[in-house]
């Protein structure tokens, strides 16, 4: 129902990036004379704080170590919320280059802004250990720290994702009996302002390559013999490859329908060309003189000067038609046996075609 399968691993990448922020936190213990007697890296794991506290409170066995050592950190994703303050138009696109083929440019719809909530829990036995850890983390957030994440590897789309420190809560269960282990718990709440992308398609994905309509003599299409078929394929209405096929050899105003070019060898009758932003249809070629129809496909008829480049719109341009671009349809022409050739350019209404008309 929602369309093409798409999984860009953006939420997963954001979770991993958040966790790596805190994987180089250390604590140090000193002797009374100031010399170090221990220096350790604080381990961090993904999971809820309740899971780790339960392990801390388990009673140790003389034959098997069950209790978990402190200090330790854990983090988890706690929320996912749409951020309307960063909203852009749903139909707005930007152009990107595929990393697998640096020559191919594709259009990508703008991502959807989402805020991911994270909770970082710090558990220690000693208050000094907690203070050492907190003082290594807090100065980096004023109140945010910006991560650069490669959200879409296929197009090399990297985004700066601000991670905002929202608040800190503290808990110390020092008022316990002698059989209970002390555990200081600091909880830091963060918000990561990331973006979610939809399917990243190739430039030709989703583009209609051919349309075919069949008309039958009966509603039973399985057994009825086909009487009429109409086919149409997309046609580029502008030049994509800037082939510079030939040039004008004279100035032309908006009234001229026949003009000379430097060479018409690469041009053919019943094809389209572009001069500037105006599209023209070639009716006839005589030597290096072209007879044309001006202002095709709603382009504006303008004046052109000698030396202007002329680009032929060819089948190569048809293959380069991009998603969301306007494009025309090249029509199939039909002979209905009345001595005339019909096509969509003649204004024929397909709904009025007779069922018994032969191709």
344 & 256 share domain: yes
Is 203 a domain residue?
no
User: Quick one: pLDDT at residue 83?
Assistant: 92
Is 26 a domain residue?
yes
Distance CA 313, CA 245 (A): 10
Distance CA 317, CA 262 (A): 22
Beta bridge partners of 74: 45, 121
Please name the residues in contact with 309: beta carbons below 8 A apart, sequence gap of 6 or more: 244, 247, 275
Is 205 a domain residue?
no
Is 311 a domain residue?
yes
Q: Look at residue 132 and tell me whether its pLDDT is greater than 50.
A: yes
The DSSP 8-state label assigned to residue 103 in this structure reads T
Q: How many domains does the chain have?
A: 2
End-to-end Cα spacing for the chain: 38
255 & 294 share domain: yes
Look up the CATH number of the domain holding residue 19: 3.30.2000.40
Q: Are 332 and 346 in contact (CB under 8 A)?
A: no
146 & 251 share domain: no
Domain final residue, candidates 170, 196, 222:
196
84 & 152 share domain: yes
Residue 198's CB is within 10 A of a number of other CB atoms, namely 15
User: Quick one: pLDDT at residue 298?
Assistant: 86
Burial level of 308, CB count in 10 A (0-12/13-18/19+)? middle
* pLDDT confidence band for 354 (50 / 70 / 90): very low
User: Quick one: pLDDT at residue 336?
Assistant: 47
- Phi, then psi, of 23 in degrees rounded to 5: -90, 10
230 & 171 share domain: no
Domain final residue, candidates 161, 196, 231:
196
96 & 171 share domain: yes
Q: Tens digit of pLDDT for each residue in 294-347?
A: 999 889 999 999 999 999 998 777 777 665 555 555 545 444 445 444 444 434
Residue 64's CB is within 10 A of a number of other CB atoms, namely 6
167 & 64 share domain: yes
pTM of the model: 0.53
Is 2 a domain residue?
no
Beta bridge partners of 77: 118
175 & 66 share domain: yes
Residue 232 tokens read as 């149409």
140 & 61 share domain: yes
CA nearest to 359, candidates 234, 232, 214, 211: 214
CA nearest to 134, candidates 187, 173, 174: 187
Q: Are 237 and 328 in contact (CB under 8 A)?
A: yes
Boundaries of domain holding 65: 10-196
Domain final residue, candidates 140, 165, 196:
196
């Amino acid at each position: 129902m929602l369309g093409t399968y798409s999984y860009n691993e953006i939420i997963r990448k954001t979770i991993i990036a958040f966790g790596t922020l805190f994987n180089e936190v250390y604590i140090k213990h000193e002797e009374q004379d100031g010399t170090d007697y221990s220096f350790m890296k604080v381990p961090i794991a993904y999971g809820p704080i309740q899971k780790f506290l339960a392990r801390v409170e388990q009673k140790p066995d003389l034959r098997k170590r069950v209790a978990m050592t402190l200090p330790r950190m854990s983090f988890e994703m706690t929320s996912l919320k749409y951020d309307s303050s960063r909203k852009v138009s749903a139909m707005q696109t930007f152009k990107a280059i595929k990393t697998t083929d640096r020559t191919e440019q594709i259009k990508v719809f703008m991502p959807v802004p989402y805020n991911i909530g994270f909770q970082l829990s710090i558990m220690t036995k000693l208050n000094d250990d907690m203070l050492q850890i907190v003082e290594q983390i807090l100065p980096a957030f004023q109140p945010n720290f910006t991560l650069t994440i490669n959200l879409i590897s296929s197009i090399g789309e990297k985004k700066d994702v601000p991670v905002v420190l929202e608040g800190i809560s503290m808990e110390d269960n020092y008022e316990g009996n002698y059989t209970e282990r002390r555990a200081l718990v600091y909880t830091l709440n963060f918000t990561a302002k990331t973006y979610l992308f939809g399917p990243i398609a190739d430039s030709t994905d989703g583009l209609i390559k051919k349309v075919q309509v069949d008309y039958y003599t009966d509603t039973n299409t399985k057994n009825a013999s086909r009487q009429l078929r109409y086919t149409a394929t997309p046609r580029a209405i502008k030049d994509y490859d800037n082939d510079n096929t030939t040039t004008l050899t004279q100035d032309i105003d908006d009234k001229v329908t026949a003009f000379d070019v430097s060479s018409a060898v690469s041009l053919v009758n019943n094809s389209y060309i572009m001069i500037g932003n105006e599209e023209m249809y070639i009716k006839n070629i005589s030597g290096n003189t072209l007879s044309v129809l001006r202002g095709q496909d709603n382009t504006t008829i303008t004046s052109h000067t000698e030396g202007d480049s002329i680009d032929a719109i060819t089948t190569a341009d048809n293959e380069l038609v991009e998603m969301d671009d306007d494009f025309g349809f090249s029509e199939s022409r039909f002979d209905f046996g009345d001595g005339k050739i019909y096509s969509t350019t003649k204004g024929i209404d397909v709904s009025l075609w007779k069922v018994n008309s032969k191709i």
